[in-house]
Structure 1
Amino acid sequence: MANKETSRSEKSQANVKKKTNNSKRNKKNKKDKNQPKYKKILKGTFLGILIAGLLCFVVGLGYIFAIIKSTDPLDVNAVLNLNEPSMLFDSEGNYIDNLPTEEERYKITLDEMSPYLKDAYVSIEDERFYNHSGIDIKRTIGSALSSAITYVTGKGNIQGGSTLTQQLIKNTLLTNDVKIERKVREIYLALSLERKLSKDQILEAYLNTIPLGGRVYGVEAAAKYYFDKSAKDLNLAESALIAGLTQAPTTYSPYYPDNVEDPTIYLDRTKTVLMKMLELGKISQEEYDEAYAFTDANSFAFSQTVTTYKINYEWFVYPAIDQVRKDLKETYKYTDEEVDRLFSTGGLKIYTTMDRAMQDSTQAVLDDRNSIKQLDIYANPEVTDDTGTLKLQAAASIIDYRTGEVKVLVGGRGDQPARSTNRAYDALRSIGSTTKPLTVYGPAIDTKTITAGTVLDDALLPESIKAKYPGWNPQNWDFKSSGYITARESLALSKNVPTIMIEDKLGVETGLSYAEKLGLIYGPDSKTLSVLSLGEFTGENSDGTYDGGNPFILASAFGTFGNNGVRVEPTLYTKVVDGNGKVLLEANPNKEQIFSPQTAYIMRDLLKGPLTFDGALAKLSNMPVIGKTGTTNSVTDFLFAGLTPYYSGAVWIGYDNREPMGGASYSSSAASLWGAMMAPIHANLEYKEFDGNPGGITTVSICKDSGKRATDLCARDPRGSRVYSEMFISGTEPSGVCDVHVTAKVNKNNNKLATENTPQNLIEERVFIKKNSSNKNTADAQYVLPTEKDDSKQQANDEEFKLSDLGIKVGSNADDAVSILQSKGVNVTIKNNSSKNRTIKSISSNKAKKGDTITIELEADTPGEPNDGDN
């Protein structure tokens, strides 16, 4: 009973408690419902921000750890070994010179610096340097907040806040990119460096690496550049000025043009450094006052020194460095700044392809005035410009076209300032007719647009081409028209009009595609028929770019013909090794089949032609040579590009200011220079021929005037046989026979077509050529089939006639004249009939009729010639 009562009591209490709780819950819900909505929104927003912040923190932390994980381990040697020079070697492994760098730097110790320098830098750049462990928390947090705002808003700049240690890391191991990734790596590596080096070691390395204007790096170089003294001899004001440069070397430079006129900006900056040194107790009040007065009066004795470092064989070396730089960037994704650092401190060994003996020999030939003396428009002695450079210049390049290794690069004649324009490699000029094998004949034969035996009419430019290019009316260089001419002869004689006709048929786009594969450079204004046909480049294009070619480009391009149509990308080095002996780069030049082996074989044969004309002086006594001359219309550039079975090469002659050349201004002079350059190089080489027939070549006897298979009429041409043997890519040889040569009967006295009225004794059968052109100014015009008929008439026996119509005139044969006149019933009297010379000297009348008498006088015998009966 008691248990039941107890149970009911407990249930009653529970019900009361439940009702109480429900009452409270209802009151709370009622209270919540009565709360303003904005409080709920604020609570939700705060919670969202908190969660987003936590997420950002986690993501940011992960991002930072990922950057640290991807950072290369600290290389202390890379920080300290600032002057391990990179070296260059020739093709035989012989030392050339140390690699020139963009930095002028001298490594010295803290003891070799003015004590003011150390204090000035610590004061203005990192006043807590000796107290932090690599980063200054106070400055870093301020920088981070400012940078975060910039990153989010896109406004302002990412701030620095770097310690000296961080700056040292940036200057030696990282780049100047203003990115969060770089900043994280910088902090991480700075902390690591502080654990491995003492403060003074870090400060010394920093003071040897800091950029202080242009090529000036480190305080020793700065002391020499600004004051022409050593860093240890700097006074307090000078030390403060150099320390003040660090923040913005150009802005605070005393040599900046604006600052030369108004020095306020660098003087105020120097005073700021002095004030900070005083504030931190680095100098006394007396020292401060003296240095301040010195600065205020601008008593600095500036003595700007410019160091121009001229390296051995710089014509070759600088292009080699450019190629190594390009390949390092492509292979390792380096920036230019990282490559510069590697060049300066990496201890690289760069093995170039330069053949020292060939380079020296070529330079000597170009330097020799006699090589190009006849071209100089100036009187002897040679004229120089303001820098002492010879005005008449020349450049050359020689390449082993099978390997692509460049053996010679000579960018100019005579002594020249360091880093002068390299006319063989950097300069771009018009290349004249040296373009024709590369952009016209080679591509046209390769695409089977023409053959070497294709015949063109070298006359006026066809109207169809004139219509495409109004106002353009090019002519041949000698202003002569050959008439019918084969592609082979056209190239040999460097004819312009037939060349343009071929390029027009080939198509500008096709010609351009071959040209660019061969390395020629075309701007937007030069992709035209005239440039591709004749090599007259625009120079500077409308977009500010330059185009054309140079000896380096031409030597490589012409070498393609010698290498069976394969162009091997020219290379200037064989390998690059770092300071630890690791091979960083090994040359593996790209190879591309530009022309078929058959085209290359035919082009090698065609390129013999120019050496029988204006290119003859390029011939060598002991080696086959092929090539092509080039001259620009304005006579500002003479070129020759050619090859032997060993090397391809090209030369250029001209003035830097593009003055026309005088004297014996012929492209043959460039051929002569090429021959003089190549002669000593081949003097001791074994004789050999170019590669032989690759197969796929068919040889056919064709006619020079039709390009078709020859007939007996082609051999009977009045100019002599027009039959020759031509080579074709198999399948392109002609199948038809010549239909240009024909025979016709004419009056032999007037070359008009004979008619039924033409006297039989004057009718003669001759061989002619048929042409559609009516141009009378071509060399073959006199051999064209006449269209005019002979108007001579058979005379009645009693009708008066002209003797000249019958071919009887002074200078003709008297015996023939007697026979004709007697057949007409005319009596003939011969004066001096005993003369052995039967040539008519005079005739009594040019008219006669049956029954008349004509007196003919003969020429007297020449002295010493026996007359009939003189025995």
Structure 2
Amino acid sequence: MGEKKKPKNKKNRKAGRIFKVVALTILFIILTAAVGGGGYVYAVIKSAPPLDVKEILTLEQISRIYDNKGEYMDDVPTEVKRHVVPISKVPKNLQNAFISIEDERFESHNGIDPRRILGAIYTDVKKIISKQSGMHGASTITQQLLKNTVLTNEVSATRKIQEMYLAINLEKQLSKDQILEAYMNTIPLGGITYGVEMGSQYYFNKDVDQLNLLECAYLAGVTQSTDKYNALTTNSQKNPTPYINRTKTVLSKMKETGKINNDEYTAAMNDLNAGKLQKTFADVIALRKVENPNKLNFEWFSRPVINQVRDHLKNKYKYTNSEVEKVLLNGGLQIYTTMDKAIQENTQKVLDDDKTFGIKSHLDKNKTIQPQASAVVMDYKTGQVKAIVGGRGDQPPGSYNRAYDLKNFHRPPGSSLKPLTVYAPAIDTKFATAGTVVEDSPLTDQMKKTYPNYEPNNDNKRFRGYVNLREAIKYSINLVALKLEYEMGVKTGAAYAEKFGIDFNNVPDEKGSIAALGLGEFWGTNPYYMAAAYGTFGNNGMYTEPLLYTKVVDKTGKVLLEATPEQRKVISPQTAFIMYDMLKGPLSYSATKAKFGDMPVAGKTGTSSENKNVWFSGLTPHLSAAVWVGEDIPAKLSINSNQAAAAWSKIMKKANEGLSTNDIEKPSGIVRASVCADSGLLATDLCKKDPRGSRVVTDYFLEGTVPTSLCDVHVEAEVNSSNNKLANENTPAELRVKKVFIKRNYKPSKALEDDKYVLPTEQDDTKPVPVPTTPPTTPPTGNTTNPGGGNGGNNNTGNDTGNGNSGTPPNGNGEPPAT
């Protein structure tokens, strides 16, 4: 028996040694971790942000927006809704509900809750062992307040240690009521709703001091997961169980902590089980107003500037979305914008006036004025946007910004896109010149093969024949633009469009669409981008990114952002000038109403298919602007693009007040040359003898692009003047005339307006006129006398009655008839 026990003792001793080794190892690890961890914790605490109690308490510091003269415009309506209320206005039940469910020892701890931390660790370890998802939080209300104000939502040991350290310090500086009040004004309660007052308005359509116990329990419970427990969502309407169970949990915790008695608990649970909470939410949904209460003085400009400031803050300081919202909401920022109040207000006034467009507006089913219109005015050299008007009439806040919001409102610009995707690229790449001639006629056979079943037409349903690019822009000839784009390559057009700031990525297939690039029939753009694009023509080919602010200053006076123009080269200065000059053409055709005073103006009209959108985009030597007009639900308009030009004129007249009327100077690298309007080549004497008058035109060319060949379109030929057929041996000499014609080596499928001047191909088929013969004369006899008193021969001098044998009888005038 003793021999059998000996191995067991050895085994026990061996196990003991192993235990000692393991224990010593663990102790060593713990001590090492303690020493290292202590150093780490100390370093983290030292790097914690300073505790600014004022920053935590002064939540009502509003960021403000000012115009370009420093005058107040608006308060910042950030994407967070919050209305600060004192704790005295918050029901005691709501205070107790938050304390019970979020931090039951709030009234006794010093900022952190060791018992809760240990409990959380224990719970988390069990979840890890059992492979359950989710971790148990241990943050006190004090810690959550810090996270909502001075810290971030980052999940890391560093942030947690700093949070605990600051929480202890905060408890030393503020009372419990102050901490709870600040917490309840910063707590996120779903979407963009922060604080109990806005939470009460959002979920119950009433002030927070009107909430009953059941409603208080719900509101305190929703903060744990605003997506899961939001009773107003479609999912919650279908399945209310999650938020109902969460509300029960809060009520149970309030009873457990002694915040409510059994009778109050029972009454609230009975109401909950009876569906009263669900009915409340159903009523709220039915009565929910769509309108955003954040009505701004300058709605169309202020919201875009906030978006730009938000983006620039994120880019510069690497803020997260929540961090940048905190800066905008609590930072007391002063945002100085580029908006010129006089130009902004005049632009709104012009667009609101029916007389501008010669129409009588009507209201749609949403009580919104139709047709709508939008406009942007911009200094294209600095990038500073002077005015943004996103719609006509008095509209609710948060409405479509038809001038700026490309994601939610975009319209095809029609022919106003052609200068950006067709003509400027063709000239800049030296593929063509302003004098290059393209035939205005139906698509070529090759194009028909590439685009079967596509039969585009010009707006006036006419074909002019030979047209140069300057005339094509002036008259907005679709077929010329399509042919030029096809020959140049749609990839080139798309590349230039994007350099001009026109986004073709929303529908990628449109990058290869001849209609999209050649006619502007694509997903769409808006005046914000068109104004910036057209400014390139006045800025030596440089595109300037639109800027909506000049600087942003925080509440301490520190400059957070200072805007500087961002520019990129799109086209050469020479191309820009030639395009600017060419764009003066439409002002004597389709955009006659764009002119004002002595100010030089250049621009282009645009009309989308079925006349559903009309545009004018253009520039002066100082500013660029774009105007769009159309229905919110696209429909055929009763006006044309010249009415958009009229609005543009009235807007720009005010915007250019007091500015010089000197025109843009021509840069070096441009030459003038005379060419033929029908061939685009160097003119000959024949070009001057065209039956329509001289066809010689003088135009601008990039150096090195003046044609070197002589016109081969004008020819001279001899024709029969009576039938315009080519003269030949049958043509009488007196009918032969020399004329100047234009050549065309094929017969178009549709009649072209210059067909009558084309060299004929038919030979003269005039039949030869027989040579008349004279009858033989009878020899006179001695006894015969001429009754007319003649001498018996042909009387060329005889009497006024003539002789019967005198040949052809006289006509009434005594003369032979004409032959």
Q: TM-score, normalised by structure 2?
A: 0.86
Name 2:729's counterpart in structure 1: 756
> CA 1:31 to 1:613, structure 2 compared with 1: closer, same or farther past 3 Å?
same
Counterpart Cα distance in 2 of 1:230 and 1:361: 39
Name 1:332's counterpart in structure 2: 317
Name 2:393's counterpart in structure 1: 414
- Counterpart AA for 2:390: G
1:698-717 to structure 2, matched below 5 A, reads: 698-717=671-690
1:483 to 465, 478, 495: 465
- Counterpart AA for 1:329: K
> CA 1:709 to 1:129, structure 2 compared with 1: closer, same or farther past 3 Å?
same
Superposition deviation, residue 528 in structure 1: 2.0
Mapped contact 1:492–1:613 kept (Cα < 8 A): yes
1:386 and 2:362 aligned: no
- Counterpart AA for 1:534: G
> CA 1:145 to 1:277, structure 2 compared with 1: closer, same or farther past 3 Å?
closer
Counterpart Cα distance in 2 of 1:508 and 1:150: 60
Counterpart Cα distance in 2 of 1:199 and 1:452: 77
Superposition deviation, residue 394 in structure 1: 0.8
1:345 and 2:322 aligned: no
Mapped contact 1:503–1:529 kept (Cα < 8 A): no
Counterpart Cα distance in 1 of 2:500 and 2:440: 28
Superposition deviation, residue 613 in structure 1: 0.6
What's the CA shift string for 1:621-671, capped at 9, x where partnerless? Answer: 23111100001122211011011122111111111111122x3x4222222
1:511 to 490, 493, 502: 493
SS in structure 2 opposite 1:488? helix
Counterpart Cα distance in 2 of 1:534 and 1:339: 42
Mapped contact 2:714–2:741 kept (Cα < 8 A): yes
Mapped contact 2:85–2:185 kept (Cα < 8 A): yes
1:335-734 to structure 2, matched below 5 A, reads: 335-374=320-359, 382-426=361-405, 427-522=409-504, 523-539=507-523, 548-661=524-637, 663=638, 665-682=639-656, 684-734=657-707
> CA 1:138 to 1:535, structure 2 compared with 1: closer, same or farther past 3 Å?
farther
Mapped contact 1:697–1:728 kept (Cα < 8 A): yes
> CA 1:719 to 1:56, structure 2 compared with 1: closer, same or farther past 3 Å?
farther
What's the CA shift string for 1:93-146, capped at 9, x where partnerless? Answer: 110111112333332333333333332222221112233332222332444566
Superposition deviation, residue 454 in structure 1: 0.8
1:747 and 2:731 aligned: no
Which deviates further from its counterpart, 356-365 or 68-77? 68-77
Counterpart Cα distance in 2 of 1:461 and 1:749: 34
Counterpart Cα distance in 2 of 1:219 and 1:34: 66
- Counterpart AA for 1:524: P
> CA 1:185 to 1:741, structure 2 compared with 1: closer, same or farther past 3 Å?
same
Counterpart Cα distance in 2 of 1:51 and 1:832: 146
> CA 1:148 to 1:400, structure 2 compared with 1: closer, same or farther past 3 Å?
farther
Counterpart Cα distance in 2 of 1:827 and 1:177: 121
Counterpart Cα distance in 2 of 1:766 and 1:416: 66
- Counterpart AA for 1:641: S
What's the CA shift string for 1:790-837, capped at 9, x where partnerless? Answer: 12344341499xxxxxxxxxxxxxxxxxxxxxxxx9958666899xxx
1:149-188 to structure 2, matched below 5 A, reads: 156-188=133-165
Counterpart Cα distance in 2 of 1:465 and 1:155: 64
Name 2:744's counterpart in structure 1: 771
What's the CA shift string for 1:37-57, capped at 9, x where partnerless? Answer: 999999999999888888887
Counterpart Cα distance in 1 of 2:759 and 2:704: 32
> CA 1:753 to 1:283, structure 2 compared with 1: closer, same or farther past 3 Å?
closer
Counterpart Cα distance in 2 of 1:509 and 1:58: 65
- Counterpart AA for 1:706: S
Counterpart Cα distance in 2 of 1:152 and 1:402: 65
Superposition deviation, residue 714 in structure 1: 0.8
SS in structure 2 opposite 1:118? helix
Which deviates further from its counterpart, 180-189 or 51-60? 51-60
SS in structure 2 opposite 1:527? helix
Mapped contact 1:393–1:654 kept (Cα < 8 A): yes
Counterpart Cα distance in 1 of 2:454 and 2:38: 70
Counterpart Cα distance in 1 of 2:653 and 2:586: 19
> CA 1:766 to 1:213, structure 2 compared with 1: closer, same or farther past 3 Å?
same
What's the CA shift string for 1:136-169, capped at 9, x where partnerless? Answer: 2233244456668989999723432211111111
What's the CA shift string for 1:556-599, capped at 9, x where partnerless? Answer: 10011011111111101111111111111111121112111111
> CA 1:158 to 1:680, structure 2 compared with 1: closer, same or farther past 3 Å?
same
Superposition deviation, residue 390 in structure 1: 1.0
Name 2:777's counterpart in structure 1: none
| Aligned length, in residue pairs | 768
> CA 1:391 to 1:697, structure 2 compared with 1: closer, same or farther past 3 Å?
same
- Counterpart AA for 2:452: P
1:832-843 to structure 2, matched below 5 A, reads: none
SS in structure 2 opposite 1:525? helix
- Counterpart AA for 1:639: W
RMSD: 3.4
- Counterpart AA for 1:74: L
Mapped contact 2:727–2:763 kept (Cα < 8 A): yes
Counterpart Cα distance in 2 of 1:45 and 1:527: 69
Counterpart Cα distance in 2 of 1:151 and 1:519: 52
Mapped contact 1:526–1:537 kept (Cα < 8 A): no
Mapped contact 1:642–1:648 kept (Cα < 8 A): yes
Counterpart Cα distance in 2 of 1:90 and 1:507: 44
Superposition deviation, residue 386 in structure 1: 3.0
Which deviates further from its counterpart, 95-104 or 722-731? 95-104
1:279 and 2:256 aligned: yes
Name 2:98's counterpart in structure 1: 121
Superposition deviation, residue 227 in structure 1: 4.8
> CA 1:60 to 1:486, structure 2 compared with 1: closer, same or farther past 3 Å?
farther
1:131 and 2:99 aligned: no
Superposition deviation, residue 615 in structure 1: 1.0
- Counterpart AA for 2:463: S
Counterpart Cα distance in 1 of 2:123 and 2:456: 67
- Counterpart AA for 1:413: R
SS in structure 1 opposite 2:508? coil
> CA 1:473 to 1:236, structure 2 compared with 1: closer, same or farther past 3 Å?
closer
Q: Which runs of 5+ in 1 are unaligned?
A: 1-29, 375-379, 540-547, 801-824, 835-852, 857-871
Name 1:218's counterpart in structure 2: 195
SS in structure 1 opposite 2:335? strand
Counterpart Cα distance in 2 of 1:64 and 1:685: 65
> CA 1:598 to 1:38, structure 2 compared with 1: closer, same or farther past 3 Å?
farther
> CA 1:833 to 1:32, structure 2 compared with 1: closer, same or farther past 3 Å?
farther
1:320 to 283, 291, 305: 305
SS in structure 2 opposite 1:727? strand
SS in structure 1 opposite 2:362? coil
Counterpart Cα distance in 2 of 1:151 and 1:502: 68
Q: Which runs of 5+ in 2 are unaligned?
A: 1-6, 775-805
Name 1:785's counterpart in structure 2: 759
Superposition deviation, residue 855 in structure 1: 7.8
Name 1:22's counterpart in structure 2: none
1:207 and 2:184 aligned: yes
SS in structure 2 opposite 1:351? strand
SS in structure 1 opposite 2:543? strand
Counterpart Cα distance in 1 of 2:329 and 2:562: 20
